[in-house]
Amino acid sequence: MRIEHDTMGEIEVPAEHYWGAQTQRSLHHFAIGDEIQPVEIIRAFAVLKQACALANGDVGKLSAEQAAAIATACTEIRAGQWAGEFPLSVWQTGSGTQTNMNVNEVIAHIAEEKGTPLHPNDHVNASQSSNDTYPSALHIAAVLAVTEQVLPSAKRLAAAFKTIEEAYPDIIKIGRTHLQDATPVRFAQEVSGWRTLVETPCTLLEALLPTLAQLAIGGTAVGTGLNAPHGFDAMVCGHINAITKANEIHFTPDANKFHALTSKDSLVAVHGALKALACNLMKIANDIRWLASGPRCGMGEIHIPENEPGSSIMPGKVNPTQCEAVTMVAVQVMGNDTAIGVAASQGNFQLNVFLPVSAYNFIQSARLLADCMDSLRTFCVDGLTPVEEKMTANLNNSLMLVTCLAPKLGYEQAAYIAKSALHKGCSLKDMVLELGLLTAEEFDEIVRPEKMV
């Protein structure tokens, strides 16, 4: 152990670690649950601290040596070199102060080991407050999680659906509404709906991200910018954009820091789009597992890959497990959305103190959605094929083909034909011929599924 000190006095810290007194106090006072700060938040903090150090160097608040030492440590943190140094619980102070100080302390100790003495508050935290750094890091992490994880995964899944559309343009099958037979559709049309269910929330995400990329940095404690140099927010954002230059979204200062410190409206909006994506993935997964149900006593209109045994007691059983994983992720994301919404409603006066739980839930949603879309694509969609003979049999057996008779025979007469055919267990054609309403040739000319799609 070694002795560290802060304004509360001395405390023992494990000698092998690079954190300091405030981190150790947080470990002692908040041993709550197993959830720790997401690695994406720590990396975002490293981006932010590096940018702040460079901006402080630009205005002479830090020496070139001090700014460079902080930047070097942050680069190493972003690369994952110091992953074991950020152990703090999500369930800590609601402003995230202890995580901010955890990062400050680790950076200071790394720099000191390399020969540049730094103070966690006076140097690493210069021109900053936990009140503007944690929300800024949260927004950086959220933007990067969406642009680097969610959107690429979604685009790969949409492309996989597009491949299926193009592979099977001519198969006609029965449509279904209310889980009941409806009029025909092309299989490619059905799949195009799945593709667009993925693409539409992505369009919404891309539209909302610039607002989320507006940062609180420069507001310091309550939004007034106390102890920060003039123009610090713009300088920091310029350096952040240079550090994250591969990212398509540019970070900008929030024009009203009193809004930035207390409101999480943009986070709620973007997570709402993630929830919309989760809802759509739930629909897609349910469609796929319904259509693949069987193999002999279900719909059986599509075949999906058989990845693993489905039962410990029923030999040979295979289940739609990828779809089930997606639906569970969707449920989790919907729950996370509720947590984020409630947390965002709790901004009091000049600060929201529900930041770590908001960060944890947002990052978890982004990570789960990205992973489950890649998993669904790799282990299900890429191997999904239509069972054309089953589709054709269901199509020809459907009573809703009667819809194309309604213009000639009238709605009520067509309904009578459908109900009579169902009651007698015969085909529509047989029923029409029995009633003498049309000749076989007339029926075949009118009832043509390819003209109904």
221 close to 205: Cβ distance less than 8 angstroms = no
Beta bridge partners of 12: 3
Which amino acid is located at 206 in the chain?
A: E
Whether residue 311 lies in the annotated active site: yes
* 29 contacts: CB under 8 Å, gap ≥ 6: none
* Helix (H) or strand (E) segment spanning residue 173: strand 172-177
Beta bridge partners of 180: 177
Beta bridge partners of 176: 181
If you write DSSP's letter for every residue of 396-449 in order, what string do you get?
HH-GGGGGGGHHHH-HHHHHHHHHHHHHHT--HHHHHHHHTSS-HHHHHHH--G
326 close to 287: Cβ distance less than 8 angstroms = no
Whether residue 178 lies in the annotated active site: yes
111 close to 65: Cβ distance less than 8 angstroms = no
151 close to 205: Cβ distance less than 8 angstroms = yes
* Pairing mode of beta strands 347-348, 2-6: unpaired
Choose, from 63, 230, 311, 345, the residue flagged as catalytic: 311
Joined together, the tokens standing for residue 105 give: 């302390």
Joined together, the tokens standing for residue 236 give: 């920091």
Choose, from 178, 230, 250, 303, the residue flagged as catalytic: 178
Distance of CA 442 to the CA centre of its chain: 53
Which amino acid is located at 9 in the chain?
A: G
Give me the half-sphere count of Cα atoms (radius 13 Å) on the Cβ side of residue 159: 8
Decide: residue 230, CB within 10 A, 0-12 exposed, 13-18 middle, 19+ buried.
exposed
> How far, in Å, CA of 360 to CA of 260, rounded?
19
Catalytic positions, written as ranges:
178, 311
